[in-house]
Structures are given as C-alpha cells and as structure tokens.
Amino acid sequence: MSEEKYFTKEGLEKIKKEFEILKKVKRKEISERIEEALKLGDLSENAEYHEAKDEQGMNEARIRELEEVIKNAVLISDDKGQKKCVEVGCTIKVKYDGSEKEFTIVGPSEANPAKGFISNESPAGEAFLGKKVGDKVNIEVPAGKIEYKILDIK
C-alpha cells in the first residue's frame, strides 16, 4: 500500500528525470555489459556477468520504486498568494527567541532543514500544519521546547 508523497514541481521533475535515465540509458548500458560478459564464456566464474546482473537487479528495483513514487506523487501548489493556514508548499515566517526565520513545508524527499525546507512529516512540519498567522506553536527539540509565533504565511 503506497501513500501520497508531496513534491514541488522541480522536485518531481528531478524524480522523473532520474526515472527516464534509469529506464532508457542505464538499462541499455547494463544490457550491453551483460551481452559482452556472456561472450566471455563460462558463467559460473564470470565476475563481469554476475556484477552486471546484480547491477541490473538494483536498477530495476529503483525503476519500480520511482514508478510508484511518481504514480502517488502530489504536486504542491506554487500559488504564492496569501494563505489562511499552513499547508504543504507554504513558506512561513516565524519568530522565536527574538529571532525571525522562514521555513518552507515540503514533502520528505525534498526536506533540507539547514536550508529551511522542513518535511510535512517531521515533528516541526506536523506542528505547523493547519496553524494561522498569530498562532503560537511549541515544538520539542533536544534542548527543550521552542515556542514559535507564526508571522506570515505565503
């Protein structure tokens, strides 16, 4: 049973590009390596053949994985207008401990907390979802709780 995963337009394009390369380029390269290895004879001691077959299995598994991801992908709206509440795809401006910071709520595959991209499935992402401007959100971090106040939602 697969579940929906959220992607920005750019993130989904990256996944689709990898999928196409694996299917059209990598699959052909591996097939050619297997053909060449078969010409070497005895398969029981043919390391090139076994290595190529292993790589083929991994490539096919990744193709099936990406196919499933693409099939269940949900594209995040890139509408940058004012939002009423935090949802996946929003960029929020928050205040905490006298500082201000921006976070963008994205799907787990595009999360990069150091750059301000937090997963909708992370504790922080889950805590922000559904909140409105002016709401306060308490998030448990290793050092304790941090209270964030939502200043803006885009």
DSSP 77: P
Q: What is the pLDDT of residue 85?
A: 92
Q: What is the pLDDT of residue 80?
A: 59
- The pTM assigned to this predicted structure is 0.70
| Any domain includes 81 | no
Task: State whether 69 and 105 are in the same domain.
Answer: no
| Any domain includes 100 | yes
Task: State whether 96 and 139 are in the same domain.
Answer: yes
Cβ burial of 122 (10 Å; 0-12, 13-18, 19+) is middle
**How many domains is the chain built from?**
2
CATH (domain of 113): 3.10.50.30
Cα–Cα distance between 147 and 66 in angstroms, integer?
38
Cα–Cα distance between 143 and 53 in angstroms, integer?
48
Task: State whether 34 and 58 are in the same domain.
Answer: yes
Structure tokens at 70: 């693409």
Q: What is the pLDDT of residue 18?
A: 97
Range of the structural domain that residue 25 is part of: 5-75
| pLDDT per 10-residue tile (average), the chain, 154 residues | 79 95 97 91 84 96 95 79 82 94 93 94 94 94 91 93
What is the three-class DSSP state of 82?
coil
Q: What is the pLDDT of residue 78?
A: 65
Within a 10 A sphere around the Cβ of 51, how many other Cβ atoms?
14
Q: What is the pLDDT of residue 142?
A: 84
For residue 24, give the H/E element and its range: none
CATH (domain of 55): 1.10.287.180
| Any domain includes 80 | no
Structure tokens at 34: 């297997």
Identify whether the C-beta of residue 138 lies closer than 8 Å to the C-beta of residue 149: no
Tell me which residue has tokens 């292993």: 54
